[in-house]
Structure 1
């Protein structure tokens, strides 16, 4: 059997030093998800690695701050349901489960991998079209059936729901790292589908990546100036990207309190934009909204 990346997981708790491409695991408080079974340090081996001897297991490493990750999460969740749970979807929230992400050597999201007979098979690091995901799953089921696990699918054809051109353009641009193009595509998407939650998060994410691209995180934070609004907004962006939501929110709420006139409005607008990157149910966001209301009134 190939080397098992899960073997290094100890039973004790991990520290918080693990970074994921500037995403740092935030404190507990992420909301539950609607698809798959959540992977934790405690159940990774027992519920997923061992279960791969009975059925195909697919792990998706995702973050609630990634619109692309949410998209593939929904695709995989619907396919698992359509296949009547003949395979198991495990979902790794890298923000909440940094130890698991570290064990899997995950450097970006979304990342999908399969486990068959406790052997890991890398799948993809993007958001493939639904028909391609379907083909990958069928191949995995066929491979597992050849090893005596389950049976090959007889007919797993699905009707693909075509994406809007703006949606395709947004995902393609984000994958290439062209955040300016991604922003334009998300804006066009929102014109077609106002208030679409995925497009709203995607636009906020593209804006954030545009702003922090090229910044030296450590130096920017070190040189922070409380009386410089631009400095405060840049630092808040970095803190959000690193998962330190509370620090970012507190920084901008303090700016709302200390600045006046147009600068106060800018600080408020920037804070509201960062709110779009966080799960509405996150207690840190709920608290920050209350603090902002108090600061304004």
Structure 2
């Protein structure tokens, strides 16, 4: 339950929570002022209404994924999430679009997107919702979510233009890694995996290559969610792309009690490489894993 949900459910007012809301609001406003005053700062994101829904979401999503934030001015999580997403997406060289809406001002939008929590973030591609998550997320998780969204969705958009190379996509100087990145950006996951394995054979301790390999493997699994090739743990991959790391880790830990314990253990280790070792969610999951194994 979000802070807004708890506040609206009635009962005693938590003064500590009121203070936290005020502080969060002040931080969001300060960050907005800093962005507006910065030289060459990007234009603010579009405020979504029912009047511009077709143009700003359905139309734009034919060429780039559109990230839609549905929030409320009464929820500090909405303001913080908006500030983070504006900064992240404005720095991505146009491979994502961002719009935000206040569902208090436009309650019809909550019905259009079928949300039941505030804030909720929905990604739309080719006029259709493709993934979503609810509630606040750490900035690192948002950056990862945006990156995976572009990798997984952008190549399938008919009107997509090749975006300018971001720092993460710029040529690395290693022909193998450049080749693998090209395969990945064009959704050729099998080829990307093979090339990353070749690169890893030359640099077996390179954490960046290991992480890139496991990212490619995850995207390959997500592309085969049905049929004989479907992965038994694909639910964890889906949760990762939605930013719900805790659920993904806990889901795999639950499999330790079944016949696929060894596979679940390896999958958990692979997913850990996608995130910083210091991430508290990774640390918590490693602690649980150690208890389950021993």
Could you tell me the TM-score, scaled by structure 2's length? Answer: 0.48
Greater relative contact order (CA < 8 Å, ≥ 6 in sequence): 1
